[in-house]
Amino acid sequence: MAKCFICQKAGQSGYNVSHSKVRTRKKWLANIQRATIYPGGVAKEVSICSRCLRTQSKSSAKV
C-alpha cells in the first residue's frame, strides 16, 4: 500500500455497515500522487498525498 512521503498517511481498513447492520470489509485508500519536490533545492520525485501536494504548492507560491 502506498504511503505519503511527508505525513506518512496510508490507507485504512474497516467495515461498511448497511442499514440492516450487515458488515462488509472495506479499504479507504489515501489519494497518493507522484510529484517532484525540492527539499534543500534538490529535485526529488516522491509519492505524496493530495493534501501535502496542495500545501507544498501554497508554500512555494509565497516565496
At 45, list the grid cell: 520525485
Chain segment 26-48, per-residue pLDDT in tens: 999 999 999 998 888 899 999 99
Distance of alpha carbon 4 from alpha carbon 33, whole angstroms = 9
Any idea where the domains of the chain sit in the sequence?
12-62
Checking if the pLDDT of 8 tops 90, the result is yes
Look at strands 44-49 and 12-17 and give their pairing: unpaired
Neighbouring-strand partners of residue 46:
35
**What average pLDDT does the structure give for the chain?**
91
